[in-house]
Amino acid sequence: MVHRVTFPMGISMGEHASSTRAFPTTRWSWIQEARQEDAAGDRRLLDRLLRRYLPALRSHLFSRWSLPPEQADDLLQDFITNRVLEHDLLAAADERRGKFRTFLLTSLDRYAISRRRHNEARKRAGGRTVPLEETVASTGPDRHTPTDSSSFNVVWVQQVLKETLVRMQRQCRMGRQAQLWTVFEQRILQPMLEDAEPTDYETLARTLGYHSASQARNTLTTAKRMFVRVLRKVVGEYTQGEEQIASEIEELRETLIKAGAPL
């Protein structure tokens, strides 16, 4: 049975926290800082930046290019070494032209095409060395924009949701609000991920020492609001501004609904 993942039931994605706080550094700011860092010979921030995208990029190579794991990893490593590092790919990233992950995915596809052309040219040349740059130069920017990024998008959404859940659980523990996580887990996560029946409110109330089932219902409402706040904060780390955050969350929702993907 395929478990369909949607956002927790009853949550309005337009919901805002009661007190809006500044969002963390955006991914575009990270890119600018990574450029400066790399120029100084320090690549720790760049490494942190790229690690966020590697699982989704790897999944795309499996799906779009039908590469086995070892070949996908080799190509991805070559892409990072030859394009991102040696040829300063980040210098071409422009916030005005769209999302950074789309730019990165398009660049990877172009590199995969150039590598395939390079290998074919080498075979035609009888094994003689053919400069990779010759095949890269012939790869136009528009014709090879990714035509199927569904696998990439699903993995990206899964990463965002997993990060959200990890942070939410941590906040519940640190704030001594374990009951919020228990109710959220038994009413939302377990039914969603394990196809289990939601724990009834009466049982939750007895387990948590509540006076009534209505307290458990109110706790779930509070937990859903916490989920939304944390999700918006996670999305705000790579999307800037209230309008863009709301648009991105709606896109995440549509991606999961379309794919019917498991978390």
Non-local CB neighbours of 113 within 8 Å, separated by 6+ positions:
139, 144
> Percent of the chain scored above 90 by pLDDT?
43
| Residue 9, pLDDT above cutoff 80 | no
Q: Does the pLDDT at position 145 exceed 50? A: no
Residues 98 and 162 in one domain: no
One domain, residues 32 and 136:
yes
The reported pTM is 0.73
Q: Which of 16-20, 111-115, 140-144, 180-184 has the highest mean pLDDT?
A: 180-184
pLDDT digits (tens, 9 = 90+) for 107-128: 999 999 998 888 887 777 765 5
Q: Which of 147, 175, 208 is the last residue of a domain?
A: 147
Q: Are residues 211 and 254 in the same domain?
A: yes
Same domain, yes or no: 131 and 168: no
Domain that holds residue 172: 151-259
Query: How far is Cα 18 from Cα 10, in angstroms, rounded to an integer?
Result: 18
Q: Answer whether 228's CB lies under 8 Å from 13's CB.
A: yes
